[in-house]
């Protein structure tokens, strides 16, 4: 699978992708706009959904674009670095870079390895790595969100089917399918609390009344905010 790749290329893709993915756009845009810190409101998450709870839709949109764009950028840079290589070689390096960016978003070095849940970065990464798979997974999210109005359920369904879309429907190279499967697994792990609430019927729906107040259990021992999961 790694045939045709140098150690330098692999290291650059993994380290560069991780550092790019670690950029916390939600924190950056909110602080730059004087809107506070997303880790201190709602679920404490740094993603666009929680930024939206600040009441600033524009900031949420910027966060969404940033979080998705960094995954896509990591894949694009790896793709450019392997122009002229075989499809398998190119797929391997782009999967490594995209996967590293995704891990960077979930565990950013700049925030003590406490990051987001990865949905926007998942879609940005997958669209760049295999656009038919990413777009169909995105359409799945939209359909599920419209039908059931649960953002978490839509994401969990979309990432699970994304693996099937890659392997069975579009027959993408194995590294791309492994990337889709690995990201899906991490999305499920990061949504553990959401899954429990869905099973209990306590998960808030899209457009629900969940406020931007910092819940008591979102405070760490030092009085600072901590993430939901």
- Of 49, 48, 53, 45, give the one whose Cα is nearest residue 29: 48
**Cβ atoms of residues 20 and 38 within 8 Å:** no
Q: What is the pLDDT of residues 85-104, one digit of tens each?
A: 999 999 999 999 999 999 99
Quick one: CA dihedral 118, 119, 121, 127, positive or negative?
Answer: positive
> What local confidence, expressed as pLDDT, does residue 4 receive?
87
> What local confidence, expressed as pLDDT, does residue 210 receive?
52
Residue written as tokens 């979309």?
A: 158
> What local confidence, expressed as pLDDT, does residue 208 receive?
66
**Cβ atoms of residues 13 and 96 within 8 Å:** yes
Please list, in sequence order, all residues whose beta carbon lies within 8 angstroms of the beta carbon of residue 63, skipping any fewer than 6 positions away: 25, 26, 29, 30, 46, 47, 48, 51, 120
> What local confidence, expressed as pLDDT, does residue 67 receive?
98
Q: Where are the domains of the chain?
A: 7-109+116-203
Note the Cα 125 to chain centre separation in Å. Answer: 8
Which residues of the chain are under the pLDDT cut of 50? 211-212, 215-229
> What local confidence, expressed as pLDDT, does residue 223 receive?
40
> What local confidence, expressed as pLDDT, does residue 217 receive?
41
Please list, in sequence order, all residues whose beta carbon lies within 8 angstroms of the beta carbon of residue 201, skipping any fewer than 6 positions away: none
């Amino acid at each position: 699978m790694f045939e045709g790749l140098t150690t330098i290329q692999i290291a650059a893709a993994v380290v560069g992708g991780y550092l790019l993915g670690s950029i916390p756009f939600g924190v950056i845009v909110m602080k730059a706009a004087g809107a506070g810190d997303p880790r201190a409101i709602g679920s404490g998450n740094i993603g666009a959904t929680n930024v939206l709870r600040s009441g600033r839709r524009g900031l949420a949109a910027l966060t969404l674009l940033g979080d998705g764009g960094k995954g896509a950028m990591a894949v694009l840079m790896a793709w450019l670095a392997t122009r002229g290589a075989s499809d398998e070689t190119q797929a391997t390096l782009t999967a490594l870079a995209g996967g590293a960016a995704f891990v960077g978003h979930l565990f950013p070095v700049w925030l003590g390895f406490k990051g987001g849940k990865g949905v926007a970065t998942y879609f940005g990464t997958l669209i760049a790595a295999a656009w038919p798979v990413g777009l169909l997974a995105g359409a799945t999210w939209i359909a599920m969100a419209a039908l059931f109005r649960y953002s978490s359920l839509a994401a969990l369904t979309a990432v699970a089917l994304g693996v099937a879309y890659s392997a069975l429907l579009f027959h993408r190279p194995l590294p791309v399918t492994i990337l889709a499967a690995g990201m899906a697994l991490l999305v499920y792990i990061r949504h553990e609390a959401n899954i429990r609430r869905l099973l209990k019927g306590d998960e808030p729906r899209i457009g629900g009344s969940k406020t931007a107040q910092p819940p008591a259990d979102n405070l760490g021992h030092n009085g600072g905010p901590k993430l939901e999961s």
